[in-house]
Structure 1
Amino acid sequence: MSRVICAGHVNWDVTLRVDALPEPDGEATVESRVGAGGGSAANVASGLVGLDLPTSLLGSVGDDEYGHAAIAELASKGVDCSHIVSVDHGPTTVKYIVVDADGEVFVLGSPGVNEAFEASDLSTDALVEADHLHLTSQSPGTAAALARRALDAETTVSFDPGRRIGDRGYTEALRLVDYVFLNDREAATALGEAAESHPNGGKRRRHDGPGGNGGVVGDALDDTTLVLKHGPKGAEVRDEDERHVHPGYPVDAVDTTGAGDAFAAGFIAARLDGRSYERSLAVANACGALTAAEPGARTQLSWRRLDDLVER
């Protein structure tokens, strides 16, 4: 039995480390090029397994070299890949990740089949037996269907919708989940505000986000616990009128790719272990810090490494 099921993108990442991000019509020197498995759901699943939580992954890849390599890498880490769908009508999604000397990242994506899976590809038995379902960016219809099924199975759900929260139509799914993870840019889009500290400690929302999406998305989040990621400034939980804050850990960022996914893995693992919001934020921030301090999207997480950082 898997205690957690992660659903969403399974990709192949090609990471290019450059001396600096070029200006328009400029040029940068590629210092290294590395290929490895990626995708937000796959990254979280890998992190959870490192934190001793049996985890299954629901997603889709092409029946090609990159798809086979992505599954093999995840399986070698202990992720249950039996729910990953291999399709023959398109390629595995490849992301080109460019990282500069300060750890800043931008991503170039190529079309692929990482949203070809459907909610029906996950059996009811697997969902009922799980303690938690974590959703990442995926088809809005699939996300909503999975959230509804988890609700019926009395399985808790978290959702990290990603950078396109304002234009992908995630409103129905957001209404059904227990936790929503947002970084500062995503919170500004979803809530119509900067996701910064507010004296009243509540979920302050003006509902006037960019493109007119803040109101619709913000309303969908009214009854949801928000987990807000502030990067090097730490993170917070907003639950009804309560606010819980952790300042984070000072690290020299090498590559921020996957740091948000590692954060989610740490938070989920701590909450399933019965930890308080404060302790869960401490663990989550430690996971994000360790990942940002090393190259690549998947740092090897373990409780020993986290305890060393948290206790310091």
Structure 2
Amino acid sequence: MQRVLAGIAQNNFVVLGRAGMDFFPDPPGTKTEEADTFKAGLGGSSANIAAGLVKLGGQAALVTSVSDDSVGRYCLRQLQNYGVDCAHVKSVGGEFRNSLAVYETRVEEHQSVIYRNGAADFQFTAQDAAEVDYSQYGALVTAGTVFAAEPSRSAAFHAFDLAQAAGLPIIFDVDYRPYSWPSPQVAEEVLSRAGALSDIIVGNDEEFGFMAGGIDKGLAKARSLSKSTAKIVIYKMGEKGAITFADDQELHTGIYPVTALKPTGAGDSFMAGFLASVSQGMLLQEAVLRGSACAAIVVGKPGCAPAMPYPDDLETFLAQHPGPSEVKE
């Protein structure tokens, strides 16, 4: 555990995975098919996490591939604007394209359409992974979509090996997106393999259930991972809060109820807020709660990376909010 916490305390992260462009109808509440105006923002799970970490005062380098076109350059420019280190963001030509998410800033009848055919980020290679000097970072962070296709899958496992050899803890957000995978069977096998190599695993009840072969088995899966390979496992349960497994303890925490504008971006903001809080030496329970507060902030605003809080935003939210909900067993 001390190795993991010491790595996070450096507050300097190498993040594997995609950056994408988000489109969302404006004003909030508008259906996509009825929209005349759209706004754009940086998206993609790993890019969101990296931007969130930097906005909260940390350092983050993204390792990925983007398309060699205007959309890829848009993503690169946005990453740079947030202060994310893009030294290991590679442009790829041909017919590879950046992922695009078109989603609504509305909860009722929310629609989200993801375009991932020929995704540029799946062109992340083992050579790309080997070009990173992992000793310059405190921890490696990734989301499950990096494993969904080759060559990115093998490259990500190679990055795991290199990071572990350099002494970095591995932080893994399961982030299962069925549309990215060739089959549920492949996803279950690969995500379970990644989880077994990780020091910190974050996922929701459905994702752990998926890895275990049934949602009713998800909690037991999370608990077993914490007792075997992982140092910290966070089992998220939506409005019921979360259970954090660490050092043979189970910490139950609630959420910060808000009037949500949309459901997207919460998990990425949670991860950024949690890691930023751990890096500041906060106890796990407080770090999880602050991650939950970051998630609440993001679902209350349009966009994903643009909605991620700065430290003042987080402190203001915590000061004005009545507090987390009671834990629902």
**Structures share a fold, TM > 0.5?**
yes
Aligned letter for 2:95?
Answer: G
TM-score (norm 2): 0.79
Say whether the 8 Å CA contact 1:174–1:221 is kept in structure 2: no
Of residues 233, 237, 240, the one that matches 2:240 is: 233
Q: Using the alignment, how far apart are the partners of 1:297 and 1:68 within structure 2?
A: 18
Partner in structure 1 of residue 99 of structure 2? 94
Distance 1:37 1:190, change over 3 A: same
Q: Which has the higher contact order (CA 8 A, sep 6+)?
A: 2
Say whether the 8 Å CA contact 1:12–1:94 is kept in structure 2: yes
Aligned partner of residue 270 in structure 2, secondary structure:
helix
Say whether the 8 Å CA contact 1:172–1:220 is kept in structure 2: no
Q: Structure 1 residue 302 and structure 2 residue 310: aligned?
A: yes
Say whether the 8 Å CA contact 2:23–2:39 is kept in structure 1: yes
Of residues 10, 16, 41, the one that matches 1:7 is: 16
Partner in structure 2 of residue 248 of structure 1? 255
Partner in structure 2 of residue 185 of structure 1? 206
Q: Using the alignment, how far apart are the partners of 2:173 and 2:284 within structure 1?
A: 18
Distance 1:69 1:124, change over 3 A: closer
Q: Report the Cα offset of residue 194 of structure 1.
A: 4.5
Q: Using the alignment, how far apart are the partners of 1:219 and 1:268 within structure 2?
A: 20
Please give the residue correspondences for 1:15-54 in structure 2 after superposition, counting only pairs within 5 Å: 15-16=24-25, 29-30=34-35, 32-54=37-59
Q: Using the alignment, how far apart are the partners of 2:162 and 2:272 within structure 1?
A: 22
More helix by share: 2
Aligned partner of residue 65 in structure 2, secondary structure:
strand
Q: Using the alignment, how far apart are the partners of 2:271 and 2:252 within structure 1?
A: 15
Say whether the 8 Å CA contact 1:245–1:281 is kept in structure 2: no
Aligned partner of residue 201 in structure 2, secondary structure:
strand
> Which aligned segments of 4 or more residues in structure 1 are displaced greater than 6 angstroms?
218-221
Q: Report the Cα offset of residue 181 of structure 1.
A: 1.4
TM-score (norm 1): 0.83
Say whether the 8 Å CA contact 1:50–1:302 is kept in structure 2: yes
Aligned letter for 1:177?
Answer: S
Of residues 260, 268, 285, the one that matches 2:275 is: 268
Of residues 127, 146, 163, the one that matches 1:138 is: 146
Partner in structure 2 of residue 215 of structure 1? none
Distance 1:221 1:72, change over 3 A: farther
Q: Using the alignment, how far apart are the partners of 2:158 and 2:274 within structure 1?
A: 24
Q: Structure 1 residue 283 and structure 2 residue 290: aligned?
A: yes
Say whether the 8 Å CA contact 1:266–1:284 is kept in structure 2: yes
Distance 1:195 1:184, change over 3 A: farther
1:154-211 Cα shifts (integer Å, max 9, x gaps): 1111111322485322333221111111123212212333588xxxxxx52499xxxx
Aligned partner of residue 4 in structure 1, secondary structure:
strand
Aligned letter for 2:136?
Answer: E
Partner in structure 1 of residue 3 of structure 2? none
Aligned pair count reads 291
Aligned partner of residue 172 in structure 2, secondary structure:
strand
Q: Report the Cα offset of residue 119 of structure 1.
A: 4.0
Distance 1:194 1:241, change over 3 A: farther
Aligned letter for 1:296?
Answer: G
Q: Structure 1 residue 55 and structure 2 residue 71: aligned?
A: no
Q: Structure 1, unaligned stretches of length 5 or more?
A: 22-26, 197-202, 208-217
Partner in structure 1 of residue 327 of structure 2? none
Q: Using the alignment, how far apart are the partners of 1:280 and 1:206 within structure 2?
A: 19
Partner in structure 1 of residue 169 of structure 2? 156
Q: Out of 142-151 and 71-80, give the one that drifted further.
A: 142-151
1:215-248 Cα shifts (integer Å, max 9, x gaps): xxx8799422321222333322123632112211
Q: Structure 1 residue 83 and structure 2 residue 85: aligned?
A: no
Aligned partner of residue 177 in structure 1, secondary structure:
coil
Partner in structure 2 of residue 199 of structure 1? none
Percent sequence identity is 24
Q: Structure 2, unaligned stretches of length 5 or more?
A: 1-9, 148-152, 179-183, 322-329
Q: Using the alignment, how far apart are the partners of 2:259 and 2:308 within structure 1?
A: 18
